[in-house]
Amino acid sequence: MDEERRRALEGAKVLERHGRLDAAVELLSQAGVYDEAARILSGQRRFSDAAELLMRGVAVPIEQVPTLGAEGKKLALMAAVCFARAGQNSEAVTLFVALKEYQRAAQTLEKAGDLVGAARVLASARERHTAAHLPQGVGGAAVTVDAARKLEAQGKPELAIQMYVQLRRYGEAARVAMEIEHFGDAGSFYAEAGMVYDAGAAYVSAGDSGKAVENFVRVPVEDKRYRAAANEVARLAAQLSHLDVRMDNFLARFIAEGPKEAKELESFYQLGRVFERHDLLENAKEVLRKIAAARPGYRDTTEWLERLEEKTRLTSSQYERLLKQDEAARRPSTEPPPLPDLPPLPKARESQPLSTAPMGPSAPEAPPVPPTNLLSREVSEDVERIARELNPSPRGAQATGNTLFAVGVTNSIPPSDRKLEAVNLEPQALAPGTILADRYRLDQQIGQGGSGVVFRATDLELSEEIALKIFKPANEDEQALARFRQELQLSRQLVHPNIARLFEFGLYRGCRFITMELLLGCDLKHLLTGPMEVGRGIYLLTQVCSGLKAAHDRGIVHRDIKPENLFVVRNDVVKVMDFGIAKRQLTRGVTMAGMVAGTPEYISPEQIDNFTAVTPVSDLYSLGVVAYEMFTGELPFKSNELVPLLMMHINNEPPPLRTKVPSIPEPLERLVLRLLAKKPEQRFPDAGALASALEEIRRYV
């Protein structure tokens, strides 16, 4: 970041805190920081002003937008979104089309009620190579593969391409396009043929890094060219200095396996630079450790890793000091701003309750939801590029500095709900189609528990799918309120590919709700139908270690590790969830008076004896129970009564794993039994050491 931009950002933050938003916008505009200036304007819902400002940053006529670099196209896309939100559909559609964002252009027209215009936009996008617009033959010849090949032989590649497209032989069309160096067309044809790796390579040749990444990340992990694709994504991430969630998830397997060829060492090295630039220091340390394991002494990785270790130790120490109120002013700029106090729960009226769904015996019951639908999330790449800048909130969302998502805070009831604010509503009564806080549309119930209901929802401001959990009405309870607030606080501070994200909280008719990352897959519990294959189990556990280490390095202990809190998404990426009873070390724990917090089947002995004195190795004990269950299909300790079960954790030795499943490797058995040691000091010292031990075993299975 150059000095002028840094000074402008710091000054704008001061002006924002004092409510001088116009002055902040002016300061940022003068420094050319148009994206941040637009964020402030969008936070005030001044979308038209934001769009005009962004177009100043673009600084070229719309017809020249396709020639812009990555940064210019980013500003143009943000401007198009702002124009759409301002209702200036003509400007929005023109920009979307110039950026080849045809789907978004069509969606803008559809929302405006212009269905014919939307259809025309989509048709024009396909017009060049749609069969209906191509000749039905050349010189009267029939349209056949042989005829197309004859055209190739005659030196007529353009006509051959047209014939191949007419025959829906997109792979052949792409091959010919590559031969005549029409790389953009080749990428489009390869993508149409489902040849995503080849599409990515073609777009690289065309110089379109964005579309190259979009195709490379669609290469399945089982594809023989997955590592080649991952290598390209890593290279492009460094080239663009950009990393979004789809790229990060795609690279998870690549990073976990470490570099296998000399050329991959440099990709890992450059990924470390990207991670550090985004302040994802744990990720940077992980890739550097992989380099060190594969090639000790490669470039300056040893010194670099030492610097990062020192930096993260300082961050953890600073973070603990910041827990004291008298030192709150020393909060580093990379920390997210503290959340304001939660709004008080309203008092219920004596009048009849209000419901949004049919009531009474005739009301149909909600159909059961398959577990594989729980907490699913797909985030479109364009929204990821602009979410931080354009997330509208009452005072403008403030980026945390180390997150790929915008985080906003909603602590007021919208005008449309004020007349209903004193009515307590049961979450089960909510129906699909209900809109919360003038922003979130409930689409489908995907989960239900003792505390509330989880919906797949749409964020209407950002046009993306999220998960929304709405809690049952509760009396104002200080401890419950503290736990609710704590889960959001802790989750916002933990940014890691193996930790699920929470975004914001709000209040709707007496019910609190939170919005969170929408994940596609199921929790680990639903995968434990018997002993798990050793290689896969180790791969999943290693990722849990990575997520836990990020939390532990922040001084945060989860305290409730169990299969239900480990969510497995596509490509076997694991997300650690639910920091509702997590604690910061050296601070007073938040728990329920008179209760043992945690899950009895997975709780560590020290949690039973003194819940507030737990350390990171307590999480490792719980992970040991999970590992035992994964590889044997059974829990190490079982009882129908709580007290005997807790005493087993304190006193009993677990049965050796190989007595349950003889094929389990002996080193793996020793590792799991070490995790289940009664004394914390007999376990692994930290999650990083455990991950290294798991990786060592994985090499030989």
Check: CB of residue 264 under 8 Å from CB of residue 227. Answer: yes
At residue 17, the 3 state secondary structure works out as helix
277, with CB counted inside 10 A (0-12, 13-18, 19+), is: middle
Q: How many residues does the chain have?
A: 701
The pairing of strands 556-557 and 583-584 is antiparallel
- If one counts every other C-beta atom within 10 angstroms of the C-beta of residue 441, the result is 16
User: How is residue 284 written in tokens?
Assistant: 């940077």
- If one counts every other C-beta atom within 10 angstroms of the C-beta of residue 249, the result is 18
What count of Cα atoms within 13 Å lies in the side-chain half-sphere of residue 342?
27
Check: CB of residue 671 under 8 Å from CB of residue 621. Answer: no
506 residue type, one letter = G
Alpha helices in 193-261 (DSSP H): 196-206, 209-216, 226-240, 245-257
Active site residues: 560
Longest Cα–Cα distance in the chain: 89
In 3D space, the residue among 263, 435, 451, 136 whose CA is nearest the CA of residue 443 turns out to be: 435
- If one counts every other C-beta atom within 10 angstroms of the C-beta of residue 394, the result is 12
Q: Which residues contact 93 (CB under 8 A, 6 or more apart)?
A: 105, 108, 109, 117, 121
* Strand locations in 497-588 (E): 502-508, 511-516, 521-523, 556-557, 566-569, 573-576, 583-584
The pairing of strands 464-471 and 502-508 is unpaired
Task: Give CA–CA dist 479/179, Å, rounded.
Answer: 68
Q: Which residues contact 322 (CB under 8 A, 6 or more apart)?
A: 328, 330, 331, 335
34, with CB counted inside 10 A (0-12, 13-18, 19+), is: buried
* Strand locations in 94-193 (E): none
Q: What is the DSSP letter of 154?
A: T
Task: Give CA–CA dist 165/172, Å, rounded.
Answer: 8
Task: Give CA–CA dist 497/499, Å, rounded.
Answer: 6
Q: Helix 226-240 crosses helix 209-216 at what angle (to 10 degrees)?
A: 150
Q: What is the DSSP letter of 353?
A: P
216 residue type, one letter = F
Alpha helices in 528-651 (DSSP H): 534-553, 605-609, 616-632, 642-651
Task: Give CA–CA dist 298/300, Å, rounded.
Answer: 6
Q: Which residues on adjacent β-strands are paired with residue 445?
A: 455
In 3D space, the residue among 604, 562, 601, 606 whose CA is nearest the CA of residue 580 turns out to be: 562
